[in-house]
Amino acid sequence: MGNDWKDRLGMVYSTNPDFQFDTGEEEEAETLPKNQQRLRVRMEKNGRGGKTVTIVAGFVGGEADLKELGKWLKGRLGVGGSTKDGEVLVQGDFKQRVIDLLKNDGYTQTK
């Protein structure tokens, strides 16, 4: 961690010589190998203006790896979507195709 004063705005001065400043940021979880990921695929339509979305949940790992998985899935299916809150959202009804793609790519514990 750098010694940038902007990271400590709003911090009260401490006289403790062993004090370590904590920004409150959590470290990202280490990404599990593909065969240990327990991914769950489900359909959702509520709160989306009548549009159907396929959701892949249960990914354990860093945000960059989740975005990479989402980009790969969307590219293979030729549709749009996004990644947020630890889930991959794929526009459309692609539940079985997503399960098949993930299993073929090595995500063996996908349901």
The CATH number of the domain holding residue 59 is 3.30.780.10
Distance between CA atoms of residues 60 and 39, nearest Å: 9
Please check whether residue 9 lies inside any domain of the structure: no
Whole-prediction pTM value? 0.72
Please check whether residue 17 lies inside any domain of the structure: no
Instruction: For residue 39, give its domain range.
Output: 28-104
Please check whether residue 5 lies inside any domain of the structure: no
Please check whether residue 20 lies inside any domain of the structure: no
Please check whether residue 2 lies inside any domain of the structure: no
Please check whether residue 18 lies inside any domain of the structure: no
pLDDT (0 to 100) of residue 98: 94
pLDDT (0 to 100) of residue 87: 93
- What is the identity of the amino acid at 97? R
Q: Are 102 and 29 in contact, with CB atoms under 8 Å apart?
A: no
Mean model confidence pLDDT for the chain = 85
End-to-end CA distance of the chain: 40
Pairing of strands 81-84, 53-57: unpaired
* Angstrom distances, CA of residue 10 to CA of 13, 21, 56, 103: 10, 12, 39, 49
Counting the structural domains of the chain, the total is 1
Low-confidence ranges of the chain (pLDDT < 50): none
pLDDT (0 to 100) of residue 17: 79
pLDDT (0 to 100) of residue 93: 93
